[in-house]
Amino acid sequence: MTERGAGPLNGLRVVEVGHAVCAPLCARHLADLGADVIKVEAPGGDLARRYDDVVGGDSAYFAWANYGKRSVVLDLRSESGRADFTALIAGADVLIHNLGPGAMNRLGFSGENLAQTNPRLIDCAISGYGTSGPMAERKAFDLLVQGEAGLMSVTGTQDGPAKVGISIVDMCTAMYALSAIQAALIGRSTSDRGRRIDISMLDCLAEWMMAPAFHQIHTGKSPRREGARHNMMVPYGLYRTGPSTSVNFAIQTTNHWQVLCEEVLEAPELTDHPDYANNADRVRNRVDLEPEIEKRLWSIGHDQALERLLAAGIPVGEVNDLAGLVDHPQLAARDRWMTIRTQGGPAPTVRPPFNLIDPDEATQPAVPSLGEHTDSVLSELR
């Protein structure tokens, strides 16, 4: 097994029939917390295995979302594969799946059949658009849901929309699925009954989109795309301090606005300017205000501007590339790095951020090779 220490979910058995990111990431987090996660894969394996081979022969996405699990190959289209899967489900606490619209039903594992096999099972079905409605049968990936939910309409610049640079819908959905599963497990502790959970990627991202959507609902207007700046707060984002330098800072309070004007920009006249009195005013008048802020930052210079922002207690940070993240001194100081095993040898990754497991108790988790644990897991069922 690839256990990582006892953890608060020690003794919990999770079966994952997942591919890509949503279901695998949700299941991996349960493994991070101590659950025994059995990843059931078709003979061809999770499609994410073939994205690339940059992590010791494993793909970056697959290694990230699947370490700490046991991999079992079952052909669920075959009678023997379905029989073995049914035996797995009979002894499981949680099932997580995202095979595509109607796939589990076609294989004979509808919610009703699963509940008959194991009345205590927490059955978490993840889909793009849910199990009802006109889009229920559509396939979905992160990019498509970013578009459907309006995220791309507020991401990018005024020249055009952009997708978020990571699989944010998959991650968002995985976290809501994780929360729902944990809530269902708590409920089962008193009812001794399982529960079916219907998690939709669109539902999850729609919840995250409500702040800008409220503007649409209540004003009839959507916030504009503002690139590296906030579309509902000013000043908030990246402001140039020279031809190739910028500072990244955030103003959210009246006090911080006053301090910025007086102690950083040396422009006390902006503090009481009627067009900039509060955030709503500053957003409405950003076309005039933001060039004024940048002009003053240029005159101050990057190093002095950064020094003043820090001294004034204004929230400010760097805009790192990924090399900067990997070498980030804060992550190093907090011992946030650990090692996982891959088919090509050890590889570094950040520790799961739950911070509930004593690192001294944890074994080194591994990215499972396809079907690595088939024999051992099936032997446990006999």
Q: Is 105 in the same domain as 55?
A: yes
Q: Confirm whether 214 is domain-assigned.
A: no
Q: Confirm whether 257 is domain-assigned.
A: yes
Q: What is the mean pLDDT of the chain?
A: 95
CB 129 within 8 A of CB 138: yes
pLDDT at 97 over 90: yes
Task: Answer positive or negative: Cα dihedral of 51, 54, 59, 64.
Answer: negative
Q: Is 274 in the same domain as 204?
A: no
**What pLDDT band is residue 18 in, cutting at 50, 70 and 90?**
very high
3-state helix/strand/coil string of 8-40: CCCCCEEEEECCCCHHHHHHHHHHHCCCEEEEE
| Length of the chain (residues) | 382
pLDDT at residue 189, rounded to an integer: 94
Residue 293 backbone class (left: φ over 0; alpha: ψ -120 to 50; beta: rest) = alpha
Tens digit of pLDDT for each residue in 69-86? 999 999 999 999 999 999
29, 97, 230, 302: the catalytic one is 230
List the CATH number of the domain containing 303: 3.30.1540.10
CA dihedral 167, 168, 173, 175 (to 10 degrees): 110
User: What percent of the chain shows pLDDT beyond 70?
Assistant: 97
Number of domains observed in the structure of the chain: 2
Q: Is 168 in the same domain as 25?
A: yes
Tens digit of pLDDT for each residue in 181-237? 999 999 999 999 999 999 999 999 999 999 999 999 999 999 999 999 999 999 999
CB 71 within 8 A of CB 15: no
Q: Which helix (H) or strand (E) holds 238?
A: strand 236-240
Q: Is 202 in the same domain as 87?
A: yes
pLDDT at residue 356, rounded to an integer: 81
Q: Is 62 in the same domain as 198?
A: yes
Domain endpoint, select from 284, 318, 352: 318
Tens digit of pLDDT for each residue in 285-317? 999 999 999 999 999 999 999 999 999 999 999
Q: Confirm whether 141 is domain-assigned.
A: yes
List the CATH number of the domain containing 370: 3.40.50.10540
Q: Confirm whether 250 is domain-assigned.
A: yes
pLDDT at 4 over 60: no
pLDDT at 1 over 90: no
Tens digit of pLDDT for each residue in 226-280? 999 999 999 999 999 999 999 999 999 999 999 999 999 999 999 989 999 999 9
Q: Confirm whether 3 is domain-assigned.
A: no
**What pLDDT band is residue 3 in, cutting at 50, 70 and 90?**
very low
The residues, ordered by sequence, that sit 6+ positions from 36 with a Cβ below 8 Å of its Cβ are 1, 3, 11, 12, 13, 14, 70
Q: Confirm whether 272 is domain-assigned.
A: yes
Q: Confirm whether 220 is domain-assigned.
A: no
Q: Is 111 in the same domain as 257?
A: no
Domain of 281, in residue numbers: 236-318
Beta strands in 35-145, from DSSP E residues, in sequence order: 36-41, 70-73, 94-97, 122-127
Q: How far is CA 139 from CA 62, 100, 101, 126, 223, in A?
A: 20, 6, 7, 12, 29
Q: Confirm whether 325 is domain-assigned.
A: no
Q: Is 344 in the same domain as 314?
A: no
Q: Is 175 in the same domain as 243?
A: no
Task: Answer positive or negative: Cα dihedral of 93, 96, 99, 105.
Answer: positive
Our answer to whether residue 373 is catalytic in this structure is no
Q: Six-digit token pair at 139?
A: 């396939």
Q: Is 50 in the same domain as 140?
A: yes
Domain endpoint, select from 264, 292, 318: 318
The reported pTM is: 0.93
Q: Is 33 in the same domain as 138?
A: yes
Q: Is 179 in the same domain as 299?
A: no
Q: Is 148 in the same domain as 78?
A: yes
